[in-house]
Amino acid sequence: MQYYSLNKKAPNVSFKDAVIKGLAPDKGLYFPESISPLPKGFFKHIEYFNNTEIAYEVIKQFIGEEIPEKELKEIIEDTLSFDFPVVPIKKNIVTLELFHGPTMAFKDVGARFMARCFGYFNKDEEATKVTVLVATSGDTGGAVASGFLGVEGVDVVILYPSGKVSNVQEKQLTTLGQNIKALEVNGTFDDCQAMVKKAFLDEELTSQRNLTSANSINVARWLPQMFYFFFAFKQLKNKKKDLIFSVPSGNFGNICAGIMAQQLGLPIKQFIAATNANDIVPNYLETGVYTAKPSKQTISNAMDVGDPSNFVRIQEIYGTDKELKKHLTSYSFSDDETREAMKEIKKKSGYIADPHGAVGYLGLKKYFKNNKGQGIFIETAHPVKFLDVVEPVLNESIEYPQQIKDVIDKEKVSIKISTYQELKDYLVTIK
């Protein structure tokens, strides 16, 4: 499989090169040259396949011969070493829980898959040491830190906005040590992301340091998220209803992966990109004008993104605005609406949703005012990661799962920076 840059000004590359480079030389996101739908029999008999078998069928065309079947299946099996249950909430609405991995966030799968691909590509050659540079608004940092911990030949540098991630999230990305370094930025997530992008454009820096990204712009982080939508479909009792996915959306990588699953033949009628006050895409769908804005801080902080990187991939898939609007709806919700949704879900079903899942629920609720179908909203992170929000809203205590107990009492280690020059100076000194 070859990958091309969405900026169309760079040579096509292999899967391996797309993974290692992260961004194309023209700073475009990589996109697969072709997408071949899976056989109809695969969907008809999906209940008979385990998760590893499903994931292998979904991902293999995007990797080709670059990782042999045996090794690819081992990577997938190791990546998917936890459950992805569908939980009923109310009539025609269920949630898909993606928080049963080591950092209790949906990004565990992409980070683990990408790290294991790096491990495979570094295995049999004198590979140049790589620095994974990543900005996080919450969960990406912890997932990447856990996924890459101890991977040979890879340093991980995580930038996060000071005071704008939860205590649990901060501990997950500042306590691991080894090859994981955390930089605490005096600013917003947008500032962190701007520094990362500037680093990739800095030829003086990239001539000294082999940089790549582990945000969802990287194809090995992004594509494995297709698995979730197949796992949900497998578990549905009634597969004949129109299937509606509501995805809490920040950088739009997860919903874009769902749209790729749709291109592979998964019978999804509609996607809802449910956002918080960062309403760039809802405004675009309403006005036809895409306007990036400074991100606003909300209680669903992992979605506090003012210029979603992966939206350009969604535009590439659908080709025209007319086709895009046919399959994609997007709504924005306030913090107060999110809090009320958390209370409503708890009252009606006994289920405790985190703020991001609650935004996804609101997306379905709004869509179903005028439409019917089987709704699935994505529960992206365990509510324990947002105790400062969840406990006051629901007026109850949430017990720490083991994954959180393992890090919560460890000492935070971070380096505070305010400028790009400080980031650059730090990167140059990494041994």
SS3 content of the chain, % helix, strand, coil (to 5): 45, 15, 35
C-beta neighbour count of 156 within 10 angstroms: 26
Q: Provide the H-helix boundaries in 149-240.
A: 167-174, 189-201, 203-206, 219-222, 226-235
Locate 351 and state its tokens: 């289920």
Q: Are 250 and 302 in contact (CB under 8 A)?
A: yes
Give the 3-state secondary structure of residue 213. strand
In sequence order, what E strands does 279-422 have? 328-332, 374-379, 415-417
Strands 2-5 and 30-32: antiparallel
Give the 3-state secondary structure of residue 282. helix
| Catalytic residue (one of 16, 21, 107, 346) | 107
**DSSP annotation string for 382-393:** -GGGGHHHHHHH
Only one residue has tokens 């090995």, namely: 220
Q: How far apart are CA 206 and CA 209, in angstroms?
A: 5
The dihedrals phi and psi of 5, each to the nearest 5 degrees, come to -80, 135
Q: How far apart are CA 172 and CA 409, in angstroms?
A: 11
The gap from C-alpha 288 to its chain's centroid, in whole angstroms, comes to 25
The gap from C-alpha 386 to its chain's centroid, in whole angstroms, comes to 18
**DSSP annotation string for 83-133:** ---EEEEETTEEEEE---STTSBTHHHHHHHHHHHHHHHHHTS-PPPEEEE
The gap from C-alpha 28 to its chain's centroid, in whole angstroms, comes to 18
DSSP for residue 378: E
Exposure string (b/e) for 51-83, b if CB count within 10 Å is 16 or more? bbebbbbbbbebbeebbeeeebbebbeebbebe
Max CA distance (Å), the chain: 58
347 is catalytic: no
Task: List the one residue out of 352, 357, 285 whose CA is nearest residue 322.
Answer: 285
Catalytic positions, written as ranges: 107
